[in-house]
Amino acid sequence: KQEVTQIPAALSVPEGENLVLNCSFTDSAIYNLQWFRQDPGKGLTSLLLIQSSQREQTSGRLNASLDKSSGRSTLYIAASQPGDSATYLCAVSRSGSRLTFGEGTQLTVNP
């Protein structure tokens, strides 16, 4: 059974700092990995999708990497801003449809 773990559970940083969020998964036979952002009381916003054949994806200040062999992904956020404060969730897909989620990292960026 696939298990997804996110570390740390919570992170507080000053504005402008570069930061890394971690995601690990137990079964490396995945189709893809998605990173999501969730604001309090809201739905999920898809940030980046990395296909199993890819090693990284970039969107603006965000960069996500994938190392299937070690079962790890990182989300790098450059020059963090207070508006980046949210919960970040990673999820892996084994069959190409069903997602298994981690519990998320709650990020606070202080002005």
Partner 1 sequence: DGGITQSPKYLFRKEGQNVTLSCEQNLNHDAMYWYRQDPGQGLRLIYYSQIVNDFQKGDIAEGYSVSREKKESFPLTVTSAQKNPTAFYLCAGGPQGGEASEQFFGPGTRLTVL
Residues binding partner 1 (CB under 8 A): 4, 31-32, 34, 36, 41-46, 49, 51-53, 89, 91, 93, 95-99, 101-104
Please, which residue, 96 or 111, has the CB nearer to partner 1?
A: 96
Closer residue to partner 1, CB minimum distance, 19 or 44: 44
Q: Pick the closer one to partner 1 by CB: 53 or 69.
A: 53
Strand partners, 66: 73
The CA angle 58-59-65, to the nearest 5 degrees, is: 30
Shortest spacing between CB 15 and partner 1, in angstroms: 25
CB 81 within 8 A of CB 111: no
The full 3-state SS of 30-62, as one line of letters, equals: CCEEEEEEECCCCCEEEEEEEECCCCEEEECCE
Min dist. Cβ of residue 18 to partner 1 (A): 25
